[in-house]
Chain A
Amino acid sequence: MEQFLQQIINGISLGSIYALVALGYTMVYGIIKLINFAHCDIYMIGAYVGYFCMTFLGIGFVPSLLAAMAVCTVLGVTIEKIAYKPLRNATRIAVLITAIGVSLFLEYGTMFFVKAQVRSYPPLTGLLAETLRLGNISVPMLQVLILAITVILMLLLQFIVNKTKIGKAMRAVSMDQDAAELMGINVDTTISFTFALGSALAGAAGILVGIYYNSINPLMGVLPGLKSFVAAVFGGIGIIPGAMIGGYIIGIVEVLISGYINSMYRDAFVFAILILILILKPAGLLGKNTREKV
């Protein structure tokens, strides 16, 4: 039982990271119906920004987190402006291929600058290095931190999307672009803002994964990116709470499979879940089963 709870706690940490990344996939898909393949690389860049801040600039975790989020925000918005905006009226496949191109560009561009080698985050010190004991279960403070930051960011996101004017504009544009424009909403600004939000969350996920697993490399985004995408589809692509729930479910499943079956199978299981959901409930857990018009 203790071991099981311990695994669940590990799953929640991993799930937090998937959820943060999944949110970006789902919001961008919701608003421009694009699977932004480059999103997982923004997460990787976030991890590197955190690494540089903490290793070379020697600044603490919180300022490094904010720096990673800021850099990723700028990067995400820039990518949208340069690569996707000119294709606003192009076919979906053209945009999709562009997104793959941007992804490769970021991966190998980063590799050019920082080399392909794996880098390690500095060891944690102070309170973050401590472990919380709850009976026989031990919870590293690091995991508490990951969960706390994720929950704060998600609450903030929910507030922005549901209560602010720009959030309402985001929802309006994702439901009906023309109608939103008729309300006087600037669609381009709203799309930029969506990329900014998603990228900031990916940046946060990047630095969190850096301090959690302690090792980063330029291709680190690929597999977690795919799994986060699975999480978004699982929850219902385009639906914000769906991405959150999907992220946690995928994270927990993955950890349980590694712990109880065999860690070799964990990725296979995640993708098996994707196939299952696509067969049983194509619109995802929280999605309405409407056929998509292509």
Chain B
Amino acid sequence: MLEIKDLSVYFGVINALKGISLTVNEGEIVTLIGANGAGKTTTLRTISGLEKPTSGTILLEGKDITATSAKDRVKMGISHVPEGRRVFPSMSVLENLELGAYLRRDKKEIAKDLQMVYEHFPILHTRRKQAAGTLSGGEQQMLAIGRALMSRPRILLLDEPSMGLAPLLVQEIFNIIGNINNNGTTVLLVEQNASMALRIAHRAYVMETGSIVLSGTGADLMQSEDIKKAYLGG
């Protein structure tokens, strides 16, 4: 469904991505793990069109979208939950969710999706009139995911959804990601919480300073000695 070939990104002289390639198949959860500064966020931002690559291609369902605007990528079904949640703080929860459906005109279906989001995250329904900036970290993460679902994505990009959350909440967020995937949405999940990510992912890639150094099924990588040492604290 999503294929990245030889993607390079520079920030001035900093070479953040050094020709990475990866594939996400329809229906999968693929995780991208790696230490801070490895280039995970840059990878997602380039896929959603916030950063321009200096070389390489991004294919969505075989179509080259490397030069496509961020807006058109949303239309084509890419939805990105950015690092640090980035909800619109002085807008209400409901307004945030409505903005997630910004490009859609099908009012009835939008209303259905709003109900679907409230089913995934009942707390968002309770807080729908509250300003998003006043939510707790976990609630903001739920809102950011809910907002991304409102565009009815085919592939959901998630950047460290567990960051800064209590273990119980992390478990809940991961359960919801599993549910979203079961409902048919493909997921590309960036995480520093490698053990959790590997557990729910079908496949995984490991990044180090701008390159992909390892890939395999989630289960395989969990067994790998290198991974255990570097990321799983064993």
Contact = CB atoms under 8 A, between A and B. Distances in A.
B103 to A, nearest CB: 4
Contact of B70 (A168, A171, A182): A182
Interface string A155-167: 0000000000100
B102 A165 contact: yes
Interface string B211-225: 000000000000000
Contacts, number: 59
Contacts of B70: 181-182, 184
A178 B95 contact: no
A245 B134 CA distance: 26
A87 interface: no
Contacts of A168: 91, 95, 98-99, 102
A179 B91 CA distance: 13
Interface residues of A, number: 16
Interface stretch (B21-29, B74-82, B191-199): B74-82
A168 B147 CA distance: 15
A180 B95 CA distance: 13
Contacts of B90: 171, 175
Interface string A167-210: 01101100110111111111000000000000000000000000
B184 interface: no
B43 interface: no
A215 B226 CA distance: 80
B48 interface: yes
Contacts of B147: 183
Contacts of B89: 175
Interface in B62-97: 69-71, 74-75, 79-80, 82, 86-91, 95
Highest count of chain B CB atoms <10 Å: which of A175, A178, A182: A182
A103 B147 CA distance: 41
B151 interface: yes
A175 B71 contact: no
Interface string A54-96: 0000000000000000000000000000000000000000000
A186 B88 contact: no
B140 to A, nearest CB: 12
B53 interface: no
A202 B89 CA distance: 29
Contact of A179 (B79, B86, B98, B151): B86
A210 to B, nearest CB: 37
A198 B148 CA distance: 31
Nearest to A288: B90
A169 B102 CA distance: 9
A179 B159 CA distance: 13
B71 A179 contact: no
Contacts of B86: 176, 178-179, 182
Contact of B71 (A172, A176, A186): A186
Contacts of A182: 48, 50, 70, 74, 79-80, 82, 86, 148
B74 A179 contact: no
B149 to A, nearest CB: 12
Ranked 8 nearest A-B pairs via Cβ: A184-B74, A184-B103, A179-B86, A183-B102, A184-B71, A181-B70, A175-B88, A183-B99
Interface of A: 165, 168-169, 171-172, 175-176, 178-186
Given A175-B88, A175-B91, A178-B86, 20 more contacts: A165-B102, A168-B99, A168-B102, A169-B102, A171-B88, A175-B89, A176-B88, A179-B87, A179-B88, A181-B71, A182-B80, A182-B86, A182-B148, A183-B99, A184-B71, A184-B74, A184-B75, A184-B151, A185-B99, A185-B102
